[in-house]
Amino acid sequence: MSQATAIDTGNTEKWQAQDGAHHLHPFTNPNDLLQKPPRIIESARGVYLTDSDGNQLLDMMAGLWCVNMGYGQQDLVEAAHKQIQQLPYYNAFFKTSTPPAAELSALLAEVTPAHLDHAFFTSSGSEANDTVLRLVWRYWEVMGKPEKRVVISRKNAYHGSTIASSSLGGMEEMHKQGGIIPDIVHVEQPNWFAKRCELGKDLDREEFGRQAAQSIADKIEELGVDKVAAFIAEPIQGAGGVIVPPESYWPEVKKICEHYGILLVADEVSCGFGRTGEWFGTYYYDLKPDLMPIAKGLSSGYLPIGGVMVADRIMDALINQGGEFNHGYTYSGHPVCAAVAIANIKLMQRDNIVQTVRDSTAPYLQKRLRELGEHPLVGEVRGVGMFGALELVRDKANYIRFDKDQGVGTICRDFCFENNLVMRAVGDAMIISPPLIVQPDEIDIFIERAWQCLDLTQKAIA
Ligand SMILES: *Cc1c(COP(=O)(O)O)cnc(C)c1O
């Protein structure tokens, strides 16, 4: 990796003033930013961000679950540079394509499961899930069953922030402000920790997993299978708090989808591209999804690109029975974004990163993460691959959480941020999703800083 560019530290106040006056931030209370202006991130290398005052932050979130190959990868920079000179834009609407769009679709067919042979391109995960909904409905229409419309999702799922994708998601706070479109229903999430807190006692993990899966079958029976089109889920819920389902859950869900003949959609936007220690969460849980939305790690976040991998049986139905698929985005298959995604996947293959994660760095991360479970504040540690979560609780033994209003997760997150560690809070769950290239010595630094910040949090709330 080349040298970091020199930092000009004189501009922080200028940027903060501009930002405060003109930038409306996503998922942020604007009033909070007036009280405390944002930190300006100016450059990055590897797993470290540098702010406009020259501080180095250890980024254990890989940006927003996306910078899987870390910052400063020159292959990706050069791929963008080369492509933007040769052909900065052309579309795929006019019976045309571009070399990067064609090559990326072939490469994706190679790295995803064998029955997923076609890619529809989008610019984000949210758009990918809008496309999922269009494809699900289109499929049942061409199959002569247009009354199959309902998509079953899960409470606390995250599928994006457009109206369709947030409706597919199960975030109550988003539904309160954005509403929810028809024909989407939500069932229980396989969140063993939350369930034990709700009950205030222990609970058989595998039995609970089967029950959570059964809630899908119950919903299908309630609505009538002739009305139900699909079930959508993240293999491991990311933004909902890194919720790793019990082992019993996915085998049961697979059986239910097969039994009722509904489509299975595996949202791989955060699980995909190595995060679980496999190329996709679909391999980790041995799933056979009909549709597989992807984004984030597809380009390691260097440029915005997403897509939906489409199973052969759906493609065949569209080819044999359909007319035009009346759906697409100006930037579907954008050549520069596609060129960067190709460079990213090739880099992953060349460096054997998924294998390194699975066999070496992820086991080390998971082992050290569990040491944090000895901290008095931590009620549960969970994680798979390069996903991890620490649940902060008031009373470990009795599964008693803090009051929501106390904002303990946010307090801890703020301590982390002040101490140059990026860890995210989802409620009182502290979340990590580091770049896949994170090294053992960097994991050690993370554990040390995390423990310090847990201590600071404990003192602050005492
Ligand atoms: C981030 C995310 C999305 C939304 O992707 P955007 O690129 O932010 O639109 C969808 N699904 C999952 C599982 C995600 O983690």
User: Using CA atoms, how far apart are residues 123 and 182, in angstroms rounded to an integer?
Assistant: 25
Q: Where does 53-171 have alpha helices with state H?
A: 62-65, 74-86, 99-111, 125-142, 163-168
Q: Which domain holds residue 138?
A: 74-350
Pocket test for ligand 1, best of 161, 174, 270, 331 (most atoms within 8 A of CB): 270
End residue of a domain, out of 324, 350, 376 = 350
Q: Which atom of ligand 1 is nearest to 124's Cα?
A: 7
Ligand 1 center–CA 125 separation, angstroms: 4
Q: What is the pLDDT of residue 5?
A: 54
Distance between Cα 15 and ligand 1 center (Å): 28
- Counting the structural domains of the chain, the total is 2
Q: For position 1, what pLDDT does the model report?
A: 40
**At 93, phi and psi to the nearest 5?**
-85, -35
**Do residues 199 and 121 share a domain?**
yes
CA of 247 to the centre of ligand 1 (A): 24
Give the whole-angstrom CA distance, residue 431 versus residue 49.
Answer: 18
Q: Please state, in angstroms and rounded to a whole number, the distance separating the CA atoms of residues 449 and 375.
A: 13
162 C-alpha to ligand 1 centroid (Å): 10
165 Cα: distance to centroid of ligand 1 (angstroms): 9
Give the start-end residues of each E strand in 205-356.
228-233, 263-266, 291-294, 306-311
Residues 63 and 124 in one domain: no
- Give the pLDDT score at 8: 57
pLDDT at 2: 44
Q: Are residues 242 and 138 in the same domain?
A: yes
Q: Are 287 and 367 found together in one domain? A: no
Indicate the top mutation candidate among 65, 159, 167 to test ligand 1's pocket, ranked by most ligand atoms within 8 A of CB: 159
The atom number, within ligand 1, closest to the CA of 306 reads: 7
Sheet holding 421-422, edge to edge: 41-45, 48-51, 56-59, 421-422
Task: Provide residues with CB under 6 Å of ligand 1.
Answer: 65, 124-126, 129, 158-160, 234, 238-239, 267, 269-270, 295-296, 306
Q: Residue 321 has what pLDDT?
A: 84
Find the CATH number of the domain harbouring 172. 3.40.640.10
DSSP state of 417: H
Query: What pLDDT sits at residue 3?
Result: 47
Residue 156: strand, helix, or coil: coil
Rounded distance from Cα 307 to ligand 1 centre (Å): 11
Residue 26 sits in the same domain as residue 46: yes
The burial of 161, by beta-carbon neighbours within 10 Å (0-12 exposed, 13-18 middle, 19 or more buried), is given as: middle
Whether residues 302 and 415 share a domain: the answer is: no
Distance from residue 131's CA to the centre of ligand 1 (Å): 13
Statement to judge: residues 53 and 141 lie in one domain = no
For position 10, what pLDDT does the model report?
76
Instruction: Give me the pLDDT at residue 7, please.
Output: 54
Asked if residue 275 lies in contact with residue 242, where contact means CB atoms within 8 angstroms, the answer is: no
Residues 196 and 318 in one domain: yes
Question: Measured at the alpha carbon of residue 369, what is the angle toward residues 366 and 375, in degrees to the nearest 5?
Answer: 150
Give the count of beta carbons closer than 10 Å to the beta carbon of residue 7: 15
**Are residues 326 and 357 located together in one domain of the fold?**
no
Q: Give the CATH number, domain containing residue 383.
A: 3.90.1150.10
Q: What is the pLDDT along the chain (462 residues), one digit of tens a residue?
A: 444 555 555 799 999 999 999 999 999 999 999 999 999 999 999 999 999 999 999 999 999 999 999 999 999 999 999 999 999 999 999 999 999 999 999 999 999 999 999 999 999 999 999 999 999 999 999 999 999 999 999 999 999 999 999 999 999 999 999 999 999 999 999 999 999 999 999 999 999 999 999 999 999 999 999 999 999 999 999 999 999 999 999 999 999 999 999 999 999 999 999 999 999 999 999 999 999 999 999 999 999 999 999 999 999 999 998 789 999 999 999 999 999 999 999 999 999 999 999 999 999 999 999 999 999 999 999 999 999 999 999 998 899 999 999 999 999 999 999 999 999 999 999 999 999 999 999 999 999 999 999 999 999 999
Handedness of CA 77, 82, 88, 89 (dihedral sign): negative
Place of tokens 């944090």: 372
- The helix (H) or strand (E) run that includes residue 43 is strand 41-45
- For residues 326 and 444, membership in a common domain is answered with no
111: in domain = yes
Round to whole Å and give the CA distance between 384 and 362. 8
Residues 430, 424 contacting (CB under 8 angstroms) = yes
Given a contact cutoff of 8 angstroms between Cβ atoms, the answer to whether 194 and 230 are in contact is no
- Three-class SS state of 152: strand
Question: pTM value?
Answer: 0.97
The answer to whether 431 touches 415, Cβ cutoff 8 Å, is: no
